[in-house]
Chain A
Amino acid sequence: MIPLLASKLILKCLERENVEFVFGYPGGALLPLYEAFRTSPIKHILVRNEQTAPHYASGYARESGRVGVCLATSGPGATNLVTGIATAYLDSIPIVAITGQVDRALIGTDAFQEADITGATAPFTKHSYLVQNAADIPRIIREAFHIASTGRPGPVLIDIPRDVQLENVKTGLTYDKIDIMGYKPNLNGHSGQIKRAIKKIKEATKPVIYAGGGVVLGNAQTELLAFAEKNNIPVITSLMGIGGFPEDHPLYCGIVGSHGYKYSNVVMNGADLIINIGARMSNRATSQLTKFEKDTDFVHIDIDPAEIGKNMETNIPIVGDAKTVLSELVQKDTVGDHAGWLAEIETIRSENPLVYDADPPCSDLINPKILFKDMSEMTSDNATVVGDVGLNQIWSALYYRIIKNRRYYTSGGLGTMGYSIPAACGAAFATLDKPKEIFIVCGDGSFQMSMGELGVIAEHQLNVNIILITNTKLGMVRQLQFDNYGKGHYSGTDINFDIDFMKLAEAYGIKSFKVDKNADFNKVLPEVIKHQGPTLIQCQVHPDFIRI
């Protein structure tokens, strides 16, 4: 066999994993790999800061259902990936991060641009590798993609010293069969536990399905819909579960949690059985659930056994994949009559209506709740909306309706500001061959964290539309300051410079609009949707509009 340069072998291995795009930033420790990119069919997308690269990979993964790949050089390049890797870990998004490392002989000497990145990311990678021998590359890359995308998905890091990339390897792509002794994810629920769950479901008078990110990641929407409809069980989602169940369905009961709908929390508190499918029960989701643990039965279906019983005592644990377990459950005889419970929920819903109104001066500018409600009416049935972090995230999550094939992505677990622009770009790269409506929702705070990526949007003329909600404040922290310390107790949350975002967009050649009335937004939006290429709408919201 003709020896192959390891750097070329790396890209051959990525090709074998069907990688189309790598989102990266070059540097000294990656020179051999970048030399190999010149002749590879894999497209390298130059991000403008390594910090955004994992978010591109994350958006790409969420949109395509495949593994996203990001790349950075050793030292500062690698450490810049850390927040994005942690973001993917907390939301269980399958990405592979590749980093350059200093030569093997220099490891441990504090060499120029040396950082222990496998050590630094250990707490929030599903697994990581330091490649010490080029012959291991085919096995490691195969395993990394397998680990990232199976079981509970998550980020895997591969750290490759520069001199390893320069080795000549004779092994070729010989590694086919994956056999990792300590990694055998369980997909099928335990039949005994499923029997117990069915008994509980039959007995329950006030059951609720609580759908988390596992339903979306596991593509179990069809199975969930069938199961809920067959048994007449209402469905509540977590923030990560948005998109798991159609929001225009009569059984849909909103989003739970400290930033959820009030009625959803009331319904969940009233349930006698919670069927949790792929939700972590994090503190943010359960903060409004008061009487819950004492008199509620709890079935927890999760692919990760460690999630079951971690935050909430569980009567019936079912370790398995959401799609597999739900397809089994839907075949069982569980039908219950929950007419009384559904009527009670209707009362709860009407007693806790969504409040859209605002008083002056807030009502003089854009009402963001109405904005997202209107946007729901005007956008396509398969639109992707990427919410950033802050008030913009909660408004878009609560008031933009995810129906049919729409998708909603956000950094739910880690709450990483600056996520929306690169993640939406990743989604746009995933759909280059069949462009769709992609919306970035961010505030003036989160926009400024990633606005360098406008360069990528402009360079590739990505079909993304930025809905920029501006109030010259860091709105959500300001809301927390108001709630915790009272009016006027604002600290460090003013963005004391009113940026001319129109000029900024113009500098990048991005078509832009500025609106301060909902009616104007509604006029501009269809134009933006029709426009081929990137757009930005700056939407002026009053700083005191802090209600969600």
Chain B
Amino acid sequence: MEKKTCLSLLVENNFGVLSRISGLFARRGYNIDSLTVGTTENAELSRITITVTGDDQILTQIKKQLNKLIDVITVIELKPDEAIIRELVFIKVKADDTTRSQIVEIANMFRANIVDVARESLVIEITGTRYKIEGFFEMVEPYGILEFVRSGDTGLQRGGKILSH
């Protein structure tokens, strides 16, 4: 059975590490839903969050193949109840004098921020889980979504455990 899984990787900040990882997915036919990468508290390391879809066998293989890469130090699965997983989305919605306040009200309910206002549109910044964002999309859809951009999931384990240990 296919399911979505969120993986968190600690990698050495070496030349070509991102292309090694993305290349691994491409050549083995694994689907990446999203991938985010950023610096960490240690300048020599980067942290990558990858969301993938696949059955258990594929997910196990993905983890093993990632672990085989020399630059990859740790791979863990971020389980929703043991981790905070969020995504940042910017949505540009059609908005005129009659609809603007309604959209702002919806945004407030979702604790989203209005980050740009124009005569015929609004840009809304929303952070949250996949479910929250889906819910928000559903609410603003009727007003007309002009475009949006999603950062992809990023996440951190809850509690005192840290990945570099």
Question: CB within 8 Å of B: which residues of A?
Answer: 118-119, 122-123, 126-130, 132, 147, 180-183, 304-306, 309-310
* A-B residue pair count with CB separations less than 8 angstroms: 43
Which 10 pairs show the lowest CB-CB distances between chains A and B? A306-B64, A127-B70, A182-B73, A181-B73, A183-B70, A182-B72, A123-B27, A130-B15, A305-B64, A122-B23
* B113: A residues at CB distance < 8 A: none
B15-A306 in contact (CB<8A):
no
CB-contacts of B35-75 with A (<8 A): 57, 60-61, 64-65, 67-74
B70-A306 in contact (CB<8A):
no
Pairs A–B under 8 Å by Cβ, sample size 10? A119-B16, A122-B16, A122-B23, A128-B16, A130-B15, A181-B73, A182-B67, A183-B70, A304-B68, A305-B67
Q: Given A119-B16, A132-B15, A305-B64, answer yes or no on A126-B70 (Cβ-Cβ < 8 Å).
A: yes
* B61: A residues at CB distance < 8 A: 306, 309-310
CA distance A118 to B23 in the complex (A): 12
* A123: B residues at CB distance < 8 A: 23, 27
A181-B12 in contact (CB<8A):
yes
Q: Given A123-B23, A181-B73, A306-B61, answer yes or no on A118-B16 (Cβ-Cβ < 8 Å).
A: yes
Chain B, residues 13-33, CB within 8 Å of chain A (1/0): the string is 001100110010001000000
A182-B70 in contact (CB<8A):
yes
* A118: B residues at CB distance < 8 A: 15-16
Question: CB within 8 Å of A: which residues of B?
Answer: 11-12, 15-16, 19-20, 23, 27, 57, 60-61, 64-65, 67-74
Of the residues B11, B16, B57, B64, contact of A182 by C-beta under 8 Å:
B11
B64-A180 in contact (CB<8A):
no
B60-A182 in contact (CB<8A):
no
Smallest CB separation, B58 vs chain A (Å): 10
CB-CB nearest in chain B for A123: B27
CA distance A186 to B6 in the complex (A): 26
A309-B23 in contact (CB<8A):
no
CA distance A56 to B69 in the complex (A): 26
* B74: A residues at CB distance < 8 A: 182
B70-A147 in contact (CB<8A):
yes
Smallest CB separation, B8 vs chain A (Å): 14
Interface centre among A118, A119, A306 (most CB of B within 10 A): A306
CA distance A317 to B71 in the complex (A): 25
CA distance A130 to B20 in the complex (A): 13
Smallest CB separation, B12 vs chain A (Å): 6
CB-CB nearest in chain B for A308: B64
* B72: A residues at CB distance < 8 A: 182
CA distance A55 to B135 in the complex (A): 58
Smallest CB separation, A178 vs chain B (Å): 12
CA distance A132 to B70 in the complex (A): 18
CB-CB nearest in chain A for B69: A182
A309-B57 in contact (CB<8A):
yes
Smallest CB separation, B11 vs chain A (Å): 7
CA distance A130 to B27 in the complex (A): 22
B71-A182 in contact (CB<8A):
yes
* A183: B residues at CB distance < 8 A: 70
CA distance A139 to B67 in the complex (A): 22
* A310: B residues at CB distance < 8 A: 61
A sample of 20 more A-B contacts (CB under 8 A), given A127-B70, A180-B70, A182-B67, is A118-B15, A119-B16, A119-B19, A122-B16, A122-B20, A122-B23, A128-B16, A147-B70, A181-B73, A182-B12, A182-B69, A182-B70, A182-B71, A182-B72, A305-B64, A305-B67, A306-B61, A306-B65, A306-B68, A309-B60
CB-CB nearest in chain A for B70: A127
* A130: B residues at CB distance < 8 A: 15-16
CA distance A195 to B65 in the complex (A): 27
* B57: A residues at CB distance < 8 A: 309
CB-CB nearest in chain A for B26: A123
Interface centre among A147, A181, A309, A310 (most CB of B within 10 A): A181
CA distance A310 to B60 in the complex (A): 9
